[in-house]
Each structure stands twice: as structure tokens, then as C-alpha cells.
Amino acid sequence: VLDKVNLAEVLAGMSDHWMPRVVAAYNDDTVQVLKVKGEFVWHKHDGTDDLFIVLRGSICVQLRDGDVAVGPGELFVVPRGTEHCVRAEEEAEVLVIERLGDTGAEADARVLEAEAELRWSR
């Protein structure tokens, strides 16, 4: 029988910020959880939407057009090709679904590093 994943339990064992842990595969995409605090880097994914569900705390998804505040139990999808930068004043916990390997050329080293990390932990 296949395994379920308790998201809070996985997150309880994590401490670093911006270091996603892959918890499941869904079709060609990865389901990740991560703790965030502070600000990531502006980037976009040309080949995949980026789905966020906030599990604890709140995040601000900065878009070039404005900010979207996403709180616990809220879902937000960044469409492919849309530049975004996540910021969190206080630590927050987030579930993210995205297709790996579709990060746009504008991504800087930090995004690519996080992606490499994901491939490892897969």
C-alpha cells in the first residue's frame, strides 16, 4: 500500500529557510514543502505554473503588478512566465507544486541551487 504524507510532521523536521523538501510526485511535477522567511529572489518559470498553498503563517507573493498577501489555508497560482518574488516577514510554511527544470533563463544561482537540491532529495 502506498504512503500518505503528514505535511506538519515533515515540516517539524526541517529548520532551514528556502530549502524545499520533496514530499511527493504528481504527474511530471514535484510537491514540495518549505519554510520561508525573508525574501527570495525575483524569477519566473517559462514552462510551468507555480502553485502555492500556505500551511502556516503568511507570505507576500510580489508580482511586477503588485503584491498578493496569501495567508493560512489560502492558495495562489503564479502563471508560467510571470515574474515573482516571495517574501515573508515572519517564518511561514508553504506547499509548492511546480515542474522542475522549467526555470527561466533569468533565474539566478539561488533558484538553480534550490532546484538542484530538489533533484537530489527526490
We find the least distance from the C-beta atom of residue 109 to a copy of itself, in angstroms, to be 26
CB-based contacts of 5: which residues, under 8 Å, 6+ apart?
23, 24
5 part of the interface to a copy of itself, by CB under 8 A: yes
We find the least distance from the C-beta atom of residue 115 to a copy of itself, in angstroms, to be 17
Which of these, 96, 97, 80, lies nearest to 28 by C-alpha position? 97
13 part of the interface to a copy of itself, by CB under 8 A: no
User: Which cell numbers in the block locate residue 27?
Assistant: 504527474
101 part of the interface to a copy of itself, by CB under 8 A: no
25 part of the interface to a copy of itself, by CB under 8 A: yes
97 part of the interface to a copy of itself, by CB under 8 A: yes
Rounded CA separation 68/1 (Å): 39
CB-based contacts of 119: which residues, under 8 Å, 6+ apart?
100
Judge contact between 78 and 61, C-beta under 8 A.
Answer: yes
94 part of the interface to a copy of itself, by CB under 8 A: no
Binding site for a copy of itself (CB under 8 A): 1-8, 23-27, 29, 31, 48-49, 51, 53, 55, 63, 65-71, 73-80, 95, 97, 99
